[in-house]
Amino acid sequence: MERYYQPEIECASREEIKAMQDERIVKQIKHVWDNVPLYRKKMEEKGITPDDIKGIDDIYKLPFTSKADLREGYPYGLLAKPLSECVRIHSTSGTTGKRVMAYYTQHDIDLWYDCCARAITAAGGTKDDVVQVSYGYGLFTGGAGLDGGSHKLGCLTVPTSSGNTERQIMFIQDMKSTILCCTPSYAAYLGESMREMGLTPEDIPLKAGIFGAEAWSEEMRRDIEKTLGIKAYDIYGLTELSGPGVSFECSAQSGMHINEDHFYAEIIDPNTGEVLPEGSKGELVFTSLTKEAFPVIRYRTRDICQLKYEKCSCGRTHVRMAKPMGRSDDMLIIRGVNVFPSQIETVLLNRGYSPNYQIIVDRVNNTDTFEIKVELTPDMFTDNMGDIAKMQNQLVSDMRSMLGIGPKISLVAPKSITRSEGKAVRVIDKRKI
């Protein structure tokens, strides 16, 4: 039977959800107008005041917020509460520019951890579970978020953080961990390491995994489920909104339920900003309805996905989002063709390769070059040139059908591509260097 952490909210009727959002958006807009000069300025530029926002249906009137806006506010520009009322910061990694700092009051932290507790419950967790949190702890939100959710539920929490793979496996065995939380690429690495240590899924007590923070394919899910002998659940979130737990999968595994009492989602056309009808694929935009210290209004995530409002078989009523294909800025444009790394992952795993690959793009004589380094599994490893050529040709042809463009395939020896303990780095785009 399906269990819920907060059934009165997670299974509320659509009318109740809308009433909650109507009330919260009005309060939130007044809060940012009064306290965050950037939001007031942007609203004034559009000629609107808080009086124009009478409910959630008026949200389209509000200006969008971009990552550049948040960066411009670094470090304290977007704070909506006095620092003395804040108890925590987290931040994005800043790999593509200046960091975005996110601030939390104690109330913000409590609500965030509730969202993560909902996710753990939806993955079958109860207070009798042992939850190993192998997301990084620190400025990254993964460790803190799942740790907090696990505490709320009363699970025994094992805060290993990421890295030190053999120790992770030792803890899984010795602490009898039943739920593993980490990035999907690290889960795949843990599975590979277990196999090398001669362990089978029967040797470990894990029953479920809660994996997110990066795009991962259905093929990757099946691969992880097989190697670890678990059910693998997706979880989504971003620092700007709190961290993990903005949405999560339930037992139906048919999209991730967005915690709509805290986050209002829209799908827009990334080029025109037009709000798209239900079911359309586009850019996900979020408004935080309850954040005190660092609210974001119509924040453009750059994640490309779809929304589905129909009631889920699990009983939850909150809207579901499809697995994001990746950020629009992860999308590569190679010789004019759009390529998502997740499409490449699908082809490789369907052909029995491991999820260890690297995409290298460059520009030579004004033409894009496109190479995929693919690691052979120990079973496939051979020095027979004929066999290697056959495997390469097959992959080039599969990639051409999936992407509409043929890469150069370089097959490399097992274990030669660096493993990731957090978010995997799959793309080396030398055109940008």
Which long-range contacts (C-beta less than 8 Å, at least 24 apart) are formed by 374-382? 374/348, 374/409, 374/410, 374/411, 374/412, 375/411, 375/412, 375/413, 375/414, 375/415, 375/416, 375/417, 376/411, 376/412, 376/413, 376/414, 377/352, 377/353, 377/414, 378/414, 380/352, 380/353, 381/413, 381/414
- Under 8 Å between Cβ of 56 and 94: no
Nearer to ligand DLL, 304 or 376 (CB): 304
Among 73, 142, 149, 407, binds ligand DLL (CB under 6 A): 142
Longest dimension (CA), the chain: 73
Helix (H, G, I), strand (E, B) or coil at 142: helix
Which of 21, 28, 92, 356 lies at the binding interface for ligand DLL (CB under 6 A)? 92
**Neighbour tally for 398: CB within 10 Å:** 18
Report the residue number, 340 or 353, with the smaller CB distance to ligand DLL: 340
- List the interface residues with ligand DLL, window 179-218 (CB under 6 A): 212-215
* One-letter amino acid of 429: D
Q: Least distance from C-beta 355 to ligand DLL, angstroms?
A: 14
- Residue 357's Cβ-count burial label (10 Å; 0-12, 13-18, 19+) is buried
User: At 336, which amino acid appears?
Assistant: G
CA angle 281, 216, 371 (to 5 degrees): 95
- Cβ closer to ligand DLL: 173 or 254? 254
285-314 positions binding ligand DLL, by CB under 6 A = 301, 303
| CA–CA distance, 118 with 100 (Å, rounded to integer) | 26
Please list every residue from 234 through 273 that binds ligand DLL, using CB under 6 A. 234-239, 243-244
| Closer Cβ to ligand DLL, 141 or 395, answer by number | 141
Q: Is 150 in the site for ligand DLL (CB under 6 A)?
A: no
- Report the residue number, 73 or 212, with the smaller CB distance to ligand DLL: 212
Q: What is the CA radius of gyration of the chain?
A: 22
Report, in Å, the least distance between residue 105 CB and ligand DLL: 19
Touching ligand DLL, residues 23-82 (CB under 6 A):
none
Least distance in angstroms from the C-beta of 242 to ligand DLL = 9
Burial class (CB in 10 A: 0-12, 13-18, 19+), 383: exposed
Shortest distance, CB of residue 397 to ligand DLL, whole angstroms?
28
CB of 175 to ligand DLL, least distance (A): 21
Site string for ligand DLL, 326-345 (x = CB under 6 A): -x------------------
Contact status, residue 333 vs residue 403, Cβ threshold 8 Å = no
SS3 359: strand
User: Smaller CB distance to ligand DLL: residue 147 or 398?
Assistant: 147
Residue 367 CA, chain-centre distance (Å), reads 33
In the complex, the smallest distance separating the C-beta of residue 296 from ligand DLL, rounded to whole angstroms, is: 12
E-assigned strands of 8-110? 86-91, 101-105
Are the C-beta atoms of 368 and 335 separated by less than 8 Å? Answer: yes
Q: In the complex, what is the shortest distance from the CB of residue 337 to ligand DLL, in angstroms, rounded to a whole number? A: 21
User: Among residue numbers 399 through 428, which ones bind ligand DLL (CB under 6 A)?
Assistant: none
Choose, by CB under 6 A, the member of 5, 39, 104, 135 that binds ligand DLL: 135
Q: Which is nearer to ligand DLL, 43 or 148 (CB)?
A: 148
Q: How many chain residues touch ligand DLL (CB under 6 A)?
A: 21
Among the listed residues 73, 191, 324, 355, the single contact to ligand DLL using CB under 6 A: 324
Q: Choose between 142 and 255: whose C-beta lies nearer to ligand DLL.
A: 142
Whether residue 75 is preceded by a cis peptide bond, meaning omega within 30 degrees of 0, is yes
Shorter beta-carbon distance to ligand DLL: residue 150 or 395: 150
Residues that bind ligand DLL (CB under 6 A): 92, 135, 141-142, 212-215, 234-239, 243-244, 301, 303, 323-324, 327
